Amino acid sequence: MLNWSERFSILLLLDSNSYADRYSKYEYLLAAGAEEIATATDLACVKKMHDTHHDWLFGHIAYDYKNKLERNLVSLHADNIGFEDLVFFRPQVVCYISTGSTDLVIESIADHPDEIFASIIASDDVFNKNPAITFTARTTKEKYLDTVERLRTHIKDGDCYEINYCNEYYAENIKVAPPDIFMALNKVSRAPFAAYYKLNNKHLVCASPERYLQKNGRTVTSQPIKGTAARGINEAEDEVAKTSLLKSIKERAENVMITDLVRNDLARSCITGSVTVEELFGIYTFPQVHQMITTISGRIDEARHFTDAIKFSFPMGSMTGAPKIKVMQLIEHYEDARRGLFSGTVGYISPDGDFDFNVVIRSLFYNEARQYLSFFAGGAITYDSDPNAEWEEMRLKGMAMEKLFSVE
C-alpha cells in the first residue's frame, strides 16, 4: 500500500502498529491524492472546508503556526525543510482498517475501489537498505550543556517553570528514499502514532509515541508524555527502569507541570468543570524507551467549533513547557534551528468531525529538492536538571534515527 501510494504527490499514512487502547479507532489509515488543498494561515480554512464538504481531511500544522496564534512570537532561523505552517487536503482515496478488524475499507472519488485494491495488491513491497549517513549536530555538546545551565537560571529567576530544549542533527547533499526510511524506522521503533507524509518534495517519517489531541463525539483527549527511561537488556532490568521512572521526583514534577498546562489549554474550549485527569503517571513501554504518559479529557462546549480545541491548545505543552508564551520565546532565542514540522502535528479529521492528531517527535524530515535530511531530539529542562543527564537523554532519543543509517 505504501509503494502504491507513492504515485501521488500528496499522501498521509497513519499506522498504529497494533497499539490498541480504548481511544483507538484505526489500525491503519491512508489518504492519497488531493481533490482539494487548503494552504492557509488560519484554521478557519479547515473549518470552512469541513463545514462545506463534511468529508475526510488530512494534513499538518507546523510548530511555527504558533506565530499566527500569538502576535509576540516569531521564527527567525533558516527553514531548511520548507513545510508550510498549515496544510490540509481532501483526499481522492482513503484506505483504512478499523481497530479490532481485519477488513480493508477503500473509499474513493477517483477510481473504483476494486481497481484500487487490485493495483495495491500488484504493487511491489520491496524496500532497500538505507545508505550510511553521518549526521552533524547543529548545537555542540559544550554549547548544549551551557544552554541547559542558562535555562536553569531562567527557571531560578522565575521566568519559567519548565522548558523543552531541542537540538537538530542534519546531513546535506543526501539522496534517500523516504518510504525505505519509514519501513526501517517502523521496524525498529514501532509506535502508536507512526506516520509517513509526502507533500510534493517534502517528506516526514515519524515514529511518534505521543497523541496530541483526539476528538470523539464531544470529548477531546490529550496524552502528553513527560518522563523517559532507557529499555533494559532483559525483563528484570525493564522492571527496575519502570519503577525508577515512576518514582522519579524530577520526572513526576515535569509531568505534573505539563498536565496542569494541558488542563488549562483544554478548559479554554471545553465545558467548565468537564476537564479531568483520567490517568496520571501511566508508564508505557516502547521498543527503545519507557515513557510516563498522562491522559486528560474534557467535553467541548456546544458553542465551540471543533477547530477551537486545536486553536486553544496548539502547540502542545509537552513540546514547549510553561508558561507557554514565555518558553516559546526562550526556545526561539536558545535553539539554533527552526523546528518547522517538528513539534507540530499530523493527523486526520473524519467526515463526522472527529479527529486524531499526533505529536511530531522521533521523526526525520527530508527535502528532496535540497537533498537535506534532519531530525530533532531534546527534553524538558527543569531546575533539577543535570546538564549531562539531559544530553544523554537527548542522545538516547536520537539514536533510533541514527541507527537506520549505520554501516552495520
CA separation for the pair 46, 99 (Å, rounded): 26
Contact between residue 145 and residue 391 where contact means Cβ atoms under 8 Å apart: yes
Q: Hey, how many other C-beta atoms are within 10 angstroms of the C-beta on 299?
A: 17
What 3-state class would DSSP assign to 351? Answer: coil
The answer to whether 226 is a known catalytic residue is yes
Which one from 84, 162, 168, 210 is the annotated catalytic residue? 210
Cell 490517568 appears where? 279
User: HEC string of 30-65?
Assistant: EEEEEEEEEECCCCHHHHHHHHHHCCCEEEEECHHH
Which one from 198, 202, 215, 226 is the annotated catalytic residue? 226
Instruction: Give 73-76's long-range contacts (Cβ < 8 A, gap of 24+).
Output: 73/325, 73/328, 73/329, 73/332, 74/332, 75/332, 75/338, 75/339, 76/332, 76/338
CA separation for the pair 241, 341 (Å, rounded): 31
Q: What distance, in Å, lies between the first and last C-alpha atoms of the chain?
A: 28
What 3-state class would DSSP assign to 307? Answer: helix
CA separation for the pair 28, 15 (Å, rounded): 5
CA separation for the pair 379, 166 (Å, rounded): 7
Q: Hey, how many other C-beta atoms are within 10 angstroms of the C-beta on 255?
A: 24
CA separation for the pair 167, 395 (Å, rounded): 10
Kindly list the catalytic residues: 210, 226
